[in-house]
Amino acid sequence: MAISSFMVPLGSSAPGFTLPSLDGALVSMDDLAGTPALLVAFLSNHCPYVRRIERALGVVTAEYRQRGLSTVAICSNDVERYPDDDVPHLREQAERSGFEFPYLVDASQEVAHAYKAACTPDLFLYDAERRLAYRGEFDRARPGNEVPSDGSSLRAALDLVLAGGRVPEPHTPSLGCGIKWRPGNEPG
Apex 124 CA angle, 122 and 127, nearest 5? 170
Per residue in 67-83, pLDDT (tens digit) is 999 999 999 999 999 99
83/17 Cα distance (integer angstroms):
24
29/187 Cα distance (integer angstroms):
23
Per residue in 126-169, pLDDT (tens digit) is 999 999 999 999 999 999 999 999 999 999 999 999 999 999 99
- Which strands make up the sheet holding 2-4, listed edge to edge? 2-4, 175-178, 119-120
Per-residue pLDDT, averaged over 166-178, amounts to: 94
Q: What pLDDT, on a 0 to 100 scale, did the predictor assign at position 108?
A: 97
Torsion sign over Cα 98, 149, 166, 11: negative
Q: Which of 172, 105, 167, 164 is nearest to 137 (CA)?
A: 172
Per residue in 96-129, pLDDT (tens digit) is 999 999 999 999 999 999 999 999 999 999 999 9
Q: Which of 123, 136, 141, 145 is nearest to 168 (CA)?
A: 136
Q: What pLDDT, on a 0 to 100 scale, did the predictor assign at position 1?
A: 64
Q: What pLDDT, on a 0 to 100 scale, did the predictor assign at position 39?
A: 98
181/164 Cα distance (integer angstroms):
36
74/146 Cα distance (integer angstroms):
27
Q: Characterize the bridge pairing of strands 26-28 and 18-20.
A: antiparallel
Q: What pLDDT, on a 0 to 100 scale, did the predictor assign at position 2?
A: 80
Per residue in 9-28, pLDDT (tens digit) is 999 999 999 999 999 999 99
Q: What's the pTM value of the predicted model, to 2 decimals?
A: 0.96
